[in-house]
Amino acid sequence: MPLYEYKCDKCGATFEVIQKVAEPPVKKCPQCGGSVKKIISPPALQFKGSGFYITDYAKKEKPSESKPKGKTTKAATPEPPAADKKPDKETTSTAK
């Protein structure tokens, strides 16, 4: 059942009442008998643990493929020309 908070217009007292949703709201202060108003307050609901945020369901990357966090700028280092690169073993054929 929900917990509702009320404030008295006459004496300024605040109090909480556990009520069903279908029950009528409280109209009188239990201390002085003055009129009361329902106070809207944030819910006391907390999500703890994993699984409550969209990134918790994201595909996990392999450690070798992980990217650094934040913005990074790549240094201006030119790649060596293709002639300087060593050929792959798979693409090189040796004729006997």
**Residue 40 pLDDT > 70, yes or no?**
yes
Kindly state the average pLDDT of the residues 32-39: 93
DSSP string for 33-62: --BEEEEP--------SSSSSGGGGSPPPP
Written as six digits, the tokens of 33 are 């008998």
Residue (of 62, 57, 61, 8) closest to 35 by Cα position: 8
In this prediction, residue 67 carries a pLDDT of 59
In this prediction, residue 11 carries a pLDDT of 93
Domain ranges of the chain: 3-39
Secondary structure class of 84 (helix, strand, coil): helix
**Residue 79 pLDDT > 70, yes or no?**
no
In this prediction, residue 43 carries a pLDDT of 74
